[in-house]
Amino acid sequence: MPQDITVADIDVLVVGGGLAGVYAAIKAIEAGAGNVVQVDKGQVGKSGCSCFAAGVMHTYFPQEDNLEDRVRRLVRAQGYLAQQDLMASQMEQSWPVTNEMADLGVDFVRTTDGALERRPGRGSYPIISFYGPQLMDAMGKAAARKGVKQVHRVMVTDLLTHDGQVTGAVGFHTRTGDFYVFQAKATVLATGSTWYKGRMPGHRDTTGDGYAAAYRAGAVLSGVENNDAPTNVMPIGRYDIGPGMNKFVGEGGFFINARGERFMERYNPAMKERAGLRFLVYALCMEARQGHTPLFMDMTHLSPEAVGRLKKVLPLAMKMFESVGLVVGDRFVEPVEWMPQAPVGRPGLVVNGDFESTMPGLYAGGEVCAPQAVVTGLSAAATSGAVAGTSAARRARAVKQLPPDSGQLAELKRHTLQPLERTDGIEPDQALLTLQETIVPYEVLLLRHGQRMTRALEQVEDLRDNQIPLLHAYDPHYLRMAHEARNLTLVAELHLRASLMRTESRVELREDYPDQDNENWLKWIKVRNEAGAMKMFTEDVPLERYPLKAERGRSLNHLWQMAEKQGIVTIGEGGVKWA
């Protein structure tokens, strides 16, 4: 019989067991928090994306890199929507954090003289490498050694609030069905991003749970309309392999289309496959739109030494290749089919420099933050998690625990366990498939048009109103799947609504609005739940306070310019026409 379990007197509650969560927990302890509890719906250190983070980290090397140039590239990639002060501090902090991780037991790949080995990846600066499961195993154990209490297999569904402050969280055990109440002076969300459970192993447990809980509690979210950079391109045509893009192109892999053309030579002669991720995603989409699929990455020319290096830092992906006969011994035997994975919408928490959200008592680290505050990847996960944990510990010292509201608690419990109580209804998988078929095709949220997004939004609303309320779970495992489907449906609605609102092509391409509009859209789109209504509003990016300025005016988006020059599209009244 499932029990009610209350965990009281928590100083800092950390939700999520990836690198941002582990870092937040460690730093909360180091900042003096006595009782730090870290909860994960899987196992701390084995769930989320950190464990599968493709073996690369974008660490800034103070002796070798130009800090200003690195920050400028990040800000430009975000179309000047970045919180520039946070970008700079994350980049700067990535160096000490990397060294700290090595001290805590992470085995980074090193040169023969013991220095961190830098190798080419995507982008202009070389990356450092490691084996994801080893990194997270070491970091999870380091947190436990420091006294963090880790609670595994408990999915947090909602946040507890008291007069607009966050006072903990509720959830359930995914094996026993026990209902959990966590009472905390400060709560850190570190629940990562979401990929709509798309075709990529290693990312199907990040289901926007933190976004959804924060939205329902009343926090302000932002940035969802810009697909996060890792709307990745993956070896996911027929097979179920990934991630590892950075390493594959770094070792010399290149794309070919169905005609055998190395199309990146046309799209980006300077960088080719090492172009920015968004550039690659759109290049693949444009090839698809012209009927040049299937697309492949050719690695058949890689040397046995290169394949050996890949096996060292990407053993999981390389075993996947071997399991379907694409790698035999130390060679790739044929090109691997590749496509963009699902769009990545991050309706992230709006945070300040302390990584405190708009709700007192609620902090955020890693990709659960708005994309303008935290770039994707492990170094930003670690640096932002560290600040969030420290800030949460500071609050825990200053406030008293507020008691839970018994009415709210009863309502959250009912809502959390409801799918278990239905004897019939809709299976989570059925709802998920409907959602994926609506949102994953590339012509919805990659190559965008208002009409197509409006149609998709109607389908998501139908799912929200007619399937999600009827979700049924056979057991606590399926209860998790039901909540994941519910949270993803909410994320999809936010994703589509905000994307429709942004009537320009800035970081994403719209066929009906091909210009980047720096007159009207140097703005953040924000959203808040106001008594059940999705209230969306905009706020000017405070560029006057930031060192890097965007030129005012309107101009055709640079990717559309490239496509026009190639003769792929023409631009006229009403937008883009495909040749």
Partner 1 sequence: MGVRHIDVGLCNGCGICVDCCPLDVLRMDGASRKAYIKYLRDCQGCFLCQDQCPEDAIHCVALYEKRIPGAW
The pattern of x and - marking residues 327 through 356 that bind partner 1 according to CB under 8 A reads: ------------xxxx--------------
* Closer CB to partner 1, 47 or 129, in the complex: 47
> Using CB under 8 A as the criterion, what x/- string covers residues 311-330 for binding partner 1?
----xx--xxx-xx------
CA distances from 383 to 29, 97, 477 (A): 16, 7, 33
Our finding on whether 46 is near partner 1 (CB under 8 A) is yes
How would you class 184 by CB atoms within 10 Å of its CB: exposed for 0-12, middle for 13-18, buried for 19 or more? buried
107 contributes a contact to partner 1 by CB under 8 A: no
**CA 208 to chain CA centroid, nearest Å:** 9
472 counts as binding partner 1 under rule CB under 8 A: no
Q: In angstroms, what is the minimal distance from the CB of 327 to partner 1?
A: 11
* Residues contacting residue 181 through CB under 8 Å, at least 6 positions apart: 4, 5, 6, 7, 160, 168, 170, 404, 409
**Counting contacts by CB under 8 A, is residue 15 touching partner 1?**
no
| Residue 166, both tokens | 């966050």
Residue type, 477: H
Tell me: cis bond preceding 243? Omega within 30 of 0 counts: yes
Q: Which of 433, 451, 469, 565 binds partner 1 (CB under 8 A)?
A: 433
Q: Report the C-alpha gap between 515 and 370 in whole angstroms.
A: 24
Determine contact, residues 116/106, Cβ cutoff 8 Å: no
Of 115-123, 141-149, 441-449, 553-561, the window that binds partner 1 (rule: CB under 8 A) is 441-449
- In the complex with partner 1, the residue whose CB is nearer, 255 or 442, is 442
Indicate whether 33 belongs to the interface with partner 1 (CB under 8 A). no
Q: Is 198 in a helix, a strand, or coil?
A: coil
- DSSP at 207: B
Give the Cα separation of 369 and 113 in Å (integer). Answer: 38
CB of residue 435 to partner 1, shortest distance in Å: 9
Half-sphere exposure in the Cβ direction for 372 (13 Å, CA): 30
Q: Identify which of residues 86 and 285 has a Cβ nearer to partner 1 in the complex.
A: 285
Min dist CB 283 to partner 1, Å, is: 13
Stretch that binds partner 1, among 38-46, 97-105, 355-363, 450-458 (CB under 8 A): 38-46
Is residue 236 close enough to count as binding partner 1 by CB under 8 A?
yes
Query: Does the footprint of partner 1 cover residue 152 (CB under 8 A)?
Result: yes
Question: Is residue 20 part of the contact set for partner 1 (CB under 8 A)?
Answer: no
Both tokens of 257, joined, read 């289309």
Provide the CA 472 distance to its chain's centre, in angstroms.
28
Number of residues that bind partner 1 (CB under 8 A): 52
| Cβ proximity to partner 1, 11 vs 427, nearer residue | 427
3-state secondary structure of 223: coil
Residues in Cβ contact with 560 at an 8 Å cutoff, skipping those fewer than 6 apart:
505, 509, 514, 569, 571, 576
Q: Which is nearer to partner 1, 18 or 365 (CB)?
A: 18
| Contacting residue, 27, 58, 185, 203, with partner 1 by CB under 8 A | 203
How many whole angstroms from its chain centre is CA 412?
Answer: 26
Q: Which of 105, 120, 177, 201 binds partner 1 (CB under 8 A)?
A: 201
Minimum separation from the CB atom of position 406 to partner 1 (A): 31
Q: For tokens 């770094």, what's the residue? A: 250
Please check whether residue 345 is in contact with residue 494, taking contact to mean a CB–CB distance below 8 angstroms: yes
282 forms part of the interface with partner 1 (CB under 8 A):
no
Task: Please state the closest distance from residue 461 (CB atom) to partner 1, in A.
Answer: 19
* Paired sense of beta strands 165-173 and 154-162, if any: antiparallel
Beta carbon of residue 18, minimum distance to partner 1 (angstroms, whole number)? 10
Residue 205 lies near partner 1 (rule: CB under 8 A): yes
Q: Is 431 near partner 1 (CB under 8 A)?
A: no
Q: Give residues in contact with partner 1 (CB under 8 A).
A: 42-43, 46-48, 51-52, 133, 152-153, 174-175, 197-199, 201-205, 236-241, 284-285, 288, 293, 315-316, 319-321, 323-324, 339-342, 429, 433, 436-437, 440-442, 446, 477, 480-481
